[in-house]
Each structure stands twice: as C-alpha cells, then as structure tokens.
Amino acid sequence: MTRQFLVTQARVAGVAISTEHAEQLAEIAARLGLSFVLTRDTVFPVEDELALRASLRRVLHPFVAAMFESPLAEA
C-alpha cells in the first residue's frame, strides 16, 4: 500500500521514469522507513533534527536523484 502511494506521489510530482523503476524505488523507500521504525538503535543523530536532516540528505541524495534521471538513462 505504501509502495503504491509513493509511486502515485512520484507521478504527481512529474517524475519521468518507468513504472517498474518507480515501484522499485518506492519499495526501497518504504522498507527503509519501516526499518527505522522497527530498529531504534542507529548511528544517525536522531536527537538533533538539523544534523539528522543533513545526514539523511547526504546518504539519500543518490537514491532520490535517481528518480529524476532521464528515462533514456535506463536503456
């Protein structure tokens, strides 16, 4: 259910990738989010919101940027 929601949101945002790629990225995002909920022990600075945002941006940037790659890059 979360995967489909994220795919729909990507489409609304104008992400131009194949449905298969969107579903794969959405599933990774959903599983990553679930992991943070179920596993509380982390090296991320969860007590400092600004530091946490900076850490997650640095780590997730390549993942999120992949959603905005040209569809030709998949060929």
Residue range 9-62, pLDDT digits in tens: 888 887 777 888 888 888 888 888 888 889 888 999 989 999 999 998 898 888
Residue ranges of domains in the chain:
2-74
- List all residues 6 or more positions away from 22 whose beta carbon is below 8 Å from its beta carbon: 7, 10, 11, 15, 67
Nearest-angstrom CA–CA distance, 55 and 4: 27
Nearest-angstrom CA–CA distance, 13 and 56: 21
HSE-up (13 A, CA, CB side) for residue 65: 6
Q: Which residue type, as a one-letter code, is found at position 49? A: E
pTM for this predicted structure: 0.62
